[in-house]
Amino acid sequence: MAADSVNVVQQTSGIGPRVTQITQMPPDNQKDTLNGAGGNIIGKDQVTVETTSSHQALDAMRRFDSIADDLNITAKNIRETGNGLNDATDLLDRMNGELGKVIKNYPPFSLEDANRKKILMSYASIKKEIDALTVPPPPSPVYEKVKGMWENLFTENDGKITTPALTDSSPYDSVENAANALSSTAKAISSVMSALKASL
């Protein structure tokens, strides 16, 4: 008597379907049937298992993993760029705040005023902080979308923010010009940050 076959399909994660073929044997009263010539048992219990895995599914998973890794690296690099620009903005605000104390003071400070000198020394101290700051460029292809603005902001292409230098005896006009330059730089940084967000 012919054996019945049952195919069992199990869905496994990531490697495609697993096909198990089980060959069922006749009942005990039939499996011991003898052949006419030699009296050998021709019915035996037998289980056959066939497993197939989908290489396409595995390749697809590897590609997805690679894409995810690339996106994570890109996001990390953009975050580092954003953090650097935020730090630069904070320093520019502090520098401009110090200059505002000189510009807005009424009556105006004399060049020899001790408070004025102290304020401008504070400005110079903050300038050292921003001079030490390096902002990393965003990764490709994001960089290509902000390249023009980036090169205008970082004229030396070294990630350094250029700010005006002042001494504790700089004249009023120099202080005012420096404040205007800092405001322009802050606006340029804001434009770059907006472009970065828009490119994501």
Q: Are both 41 and 76 inside the same structural domain?
A: no
Q: Are both 188 and 104 inside the same structural domain?
A: yes
Within-domain flag for 179: yes
Distance (Å, whole) CA 90 – CA 153: 16
Please give the DSSP secondary-structure letter assigned to residue 174. Answer: H
The per-residue pLDDT for 114 is 97
Mean pLDDT value across the chain:
80
Of residues 48 and 174, which shows the higher confidence score?
Answer: 174
Within-domain flag for 58: no
∠ CA 108-110-115, rounded to 5°: 90
Q: Are both 18 and 79 inside the same structural domain?
A: no
**Are 149 and 191 a contacting pair, CB within 8 Å?**
yes
Instruction: Calculate the alpha carbon distances from 116 to 16, 100, 129, 165, 172 in Å.
Output: 75, 11, 21, 16, 11
Instruction: Calculate the alpha carbon distances from 72 to 83, 134, 137, 192 in Å.
Output: 16, 22, 16, 21
Q: Are both 47 and 89 inside the same structural domain?
A: no
Q: Are both 91 and 189 inside the same structural domain?
A: yes
The per-residue pLDDT for 47 is 55
Q: Are both 103 and 187 inside the same structural domain?
A: yes
pLDDT tens track for 108-128: 999 999 999 999 999 999 999
- % of the chain surpassing 70 pLDDT: 66
Q: Is the pLDDT of residue 138 over 60?
A: yes
The per-residue pLDDT for 157 is 72
The per-residue pLDDT for 9 is 44
pLDDT tens track for 54-79: 677 776 677 766 566 666 787 888 99
* Domains identified in the chain, total number: 2
Q: Are both 8 and 48 inside the same structural domain?
A: yes
pLDDT tens track for 4-18: 444 444 444 444 444
Q: 26 is written with which tokens?
A: 């006749």
* For range 36-50, the mean pLDDT: 50
**Are 81 and 137 a contacting pair, CB within 8 Å?**
yes
Q: Are both 19 and 86 inside the same structural domain?
A: no
Within-domain flag for 59: no
The per-residue pLDDT for 38 is 47
Q: Are both 148 and 188 inside the same structural domain?
A: yes
Q: What is the pTM of this model?
A: 0.66
The per-residue pLDDT for 156 is 80
Range of the domain at 33: 4-53
Of residues 87 and 46, which shows the higher confidence score?
Answer: 87
Within-domain flag for 61: no
Q: Are both 49 and 84 inside the same structural domain?
A: no
Within-domain flag for 83: yes
Position of tokens 């008597």? 1
One-letter amino acid of 13 = S
Within-domain flag for 126: yes
Q: Are both 138 and 195 inside the same structural domain?
A: yes
